[in-house]
């Protein structure tokens, strides 16, 4: 049952609130309004608590609640078409401790989730990227597909660092290609790791880092403002398109040791622990500790074959923002419930 509006002392509207209120109607504005209504009327949260979670002032929350009521989105229950999605988002946030979960609707359970996740990712990145940021990026089909949905604009002093070496063969999904195009979208500077994603020996890796300027790129990753990454599952269907670096014997060996997925070719188990394997000494990618130090950590991924990989990734990288599809969200929550 919805409760009545509480009385509270007046609060000043800050610049962030004014910007939020000045936005034209759109999916993100609608989503924030319905999230506020859900937390207030369903979760029985105070307006001050909602303001803290959404990063706005209490006055903004009051106005969003009033608008939700004027739009007839709130009666006894929330009737906005995004209500089920918002429910999943709030459950993901409370279950996994992320600051913001974005769940993209999907046409049917068996549909390919990549188009809808990539569209949601592009919409989020369009607003989240700011002047002066240094952003580390991963790769994969989901991130590559998001490029077409990101609003192009010029950001001063904007830097993009590829967190993984390149794929030597000409392929559509290449770490260097995504990083370069992402930097161009915001007229920023791109920094690439001038080496393959995986080399033949630990000695080659050490030589490249020490003699080819790669250490400088790794050092830049110490002060990232944000990271944007996706994950791959351990199934052969998801590793072959990622460059063909793993032999079938290596894949089976990793799976036998408990690997459920990889983040930048760092293979991990369901508990988010890195797998002990010789392959770790040959991967040319920024280590996970550097990724976890970034204040904004965006994980965009999903798919039925990545259920275990998504659970492990939540524990490995501890994202502040999760972007996935509704079927993957339900699978993650069901898994957490069983745990």
Query: How many helices and strands in the chain, by DSSP H and E?
Result: 15, 10
* 90-338 fold: Rossmann fold (3.40.50)
- pLDDT computed for residue 92 by the predictor: 96
Phi first, then psi, for residue 322 (nearest 5°) are -115, 130
Rounded to the nearest 10°, the torsion over CA 269, 270, 271, 276 is -10
Which of 82, 138, 130, 177 is CA-nearest to residue 299?
Answer: 138
How far apart CA 245 and CA 182 sit, in angstroms, is: 24
User: Is residue 109 packed enough to be buried (19+ CB in 10 Å), middle (13-18) or exposed (0-12)?
Assistant: exposed
Distance in angstroms (rounded) separating the CA atoms of residues 51 and 85: 20
Domain ranges within the chain, ordered by starting residue: 15-81, 90-338
Which residue from 260, 148, 125, 132 is spatially nearest to 189, judged by alpha carbons? 132
pLDDT at 44: 83
In CATH, what class is 15-81? Answer: mainly alpha
**Rounded to two decimals, what is the model's pTM?**
0.79
- pLDDT score recorded for residue 19: 43
pLDDT at 336: 85
Q: What is the pLDDT of residues 314-336, one digit of tens each?
A: 999 999 999 999 999 999 999 88
Q: Do domains 15-81 and 90-338 have the same CATH topology?
A: no
Please report the pLDDT score of residue 146 as a whole number: 94
- The C-alpha torsion from 125 through 131 and 137 to 142, rounded to 10°, is 20
Which parts of the chain have pLDDT scores under 70? Answer: 1-27, 75-81, 167-173, 236-244, 339
pLDDT for position 168:
56
| pLDDT tens digits, 188-242 | 999 998 888 888 899 999 999 888 878 989 999 999 999 999 999 987 555 444 5
């Amino acid at each position: 049952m919805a409760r009545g509006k509480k009385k509270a002392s007046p609060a000043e509207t800050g610049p962030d609130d004014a910007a939020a209120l000045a936005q034209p109607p759109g999916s993100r504005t609608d989503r924030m309004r319905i999230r506020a209504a859900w937390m207030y009327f369903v979760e029985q949260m105070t307006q001050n608590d909602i303001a803290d979670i959404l990063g706005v002032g209490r006055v903004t929350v009051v106005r969003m609640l009033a608008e939700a009521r004027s739009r007839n989105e709130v009666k006894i229950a929330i009737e906005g078409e995004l209500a089920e999605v918002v429910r999943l988002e709030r459950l993901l946030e409370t279950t996994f401790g992320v600051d913001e979960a974005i769940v993209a609707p999907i046409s049917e359970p068996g549909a390919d989730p990549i188009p809808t996740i990539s569209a949601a990712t592009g919409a989020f990145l369009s607003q989240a990227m700011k002047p002066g940021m240094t952003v580390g990026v991963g790769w994969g089909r989901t991130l590559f597909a998001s490029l077409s949905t990101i609003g192009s604009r010029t950001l001063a002093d904007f830097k993009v660092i590829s967190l993984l070496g390149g794929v030597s063969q000409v392929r559509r999904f290449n770490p260097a290609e995504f990083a370069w195009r992402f930097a161009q979208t915001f007229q920023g500077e791109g920094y690439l790791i001038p080496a393959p994603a995986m080399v033949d020996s630990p000695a080659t890796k050490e030589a490249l880092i020490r003699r080819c300027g790669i250490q400088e790129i790794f050092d830049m990753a110490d002060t990232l403002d944000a990271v944007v990454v996706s994950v791959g599952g351990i199934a052969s269907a998801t590793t072959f398109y990622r460059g063909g670096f793993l032999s079938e014997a290596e894949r089976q060996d990793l799976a036998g040791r408990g690997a459920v997925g990889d983040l930048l070719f760092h293979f991990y188990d369901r508990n988010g622990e890195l797998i002990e394997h010789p392959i770790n000494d040959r991967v040319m990618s920024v280590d996970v500790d550097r990724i976890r130090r970034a204040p904004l950590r965006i994980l965009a991924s999903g798919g039925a074959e990545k259920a275990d990989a998504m659970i492990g990734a939540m524990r490995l990288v501890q994202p502040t923002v999760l972007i996935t599809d509704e079927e993957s969200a339900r699978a993650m929550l069901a898994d957490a419930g069983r745990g």
